[in-house]
Structure 1
Amino acid sequence: MARALGLTVTAWSLLARGLLVGKRPPSRLPASRRQALDAVTEIAVETGLTPARVALAWVLRQGLLPVLGTRTLAQVHDNLGALAVRLDGKQLARLDAATRVRREYPYDFLYDRRTALAPPEPELGDRDR
């Protein structure tokens, strides 16, 4: 919706409250967050970048405006380094797949039944009124 309206979206907590910089151990993560963390970490190892840079580069690629919550000058430099990162198509696809929002109840239920829940088509005579 934001893209269609030409609006910029601000990305908040894009480093998962420190999870992507090793601040907290990833215990008890939901499967969806574990997938995202694993994808970012794997790509960071492959590219020799920090997980923070990979995550920020992906967020920037989405056209989002990241809010940086750094506490040290080293973190500022690391975060700004994401501006020069170019992830390839396969890496972007992996991150997209790992962060895809999954529909849950009731959305999946309603979506699957959308044709049955749609209002009936007006009868021919009703259109002329």
Structure 2
Amino acid sequence: MPLKLHIAYRPIINNIEEIGHRDLGLRPIHHQKESRTEGHLFISVLAYHLLNAIELQLRQEGDTRRWSTIITVLSTHQRSTVTLTDSLGKIHHIRLSGTPEAAHQDIYHKLNIKQLPRKQISYVATRL
């Protein structure tokens, strides 16, 4: 029985390992503390489930591209930060999203992501 299980599940495990390595950039765990290993595994499993949910939703919308392709397309939609120091020494950080191109909007639409906020976010910090 164990050999049958191994034969049945090995292709599935290989696929999970390949996705983890290729699409999520996961590497072997070399933490010395158990709590860090558990945290690493938790984030890895969470990322894997999130990736699967996104790919499933895209497939249901007829988009069969791989995760690596989706990330490449979306990586060109950027958010910028401008940092300025005023005459009083206060540091102003201003964040603004770029305008999504048609390819970005297509993916966002398929994932039911409403239009991303173009709102400018400003905050002020003081030098220490």
Larger RCO (alpha carbons 8 Å, 6+ apart): 1
**TM-score, scaled to structure 2:** 0.27
**TM-score, scaled to structure 1:** 0.27
Task: Identify the structure with the greater strand proportion.
Answer: 2
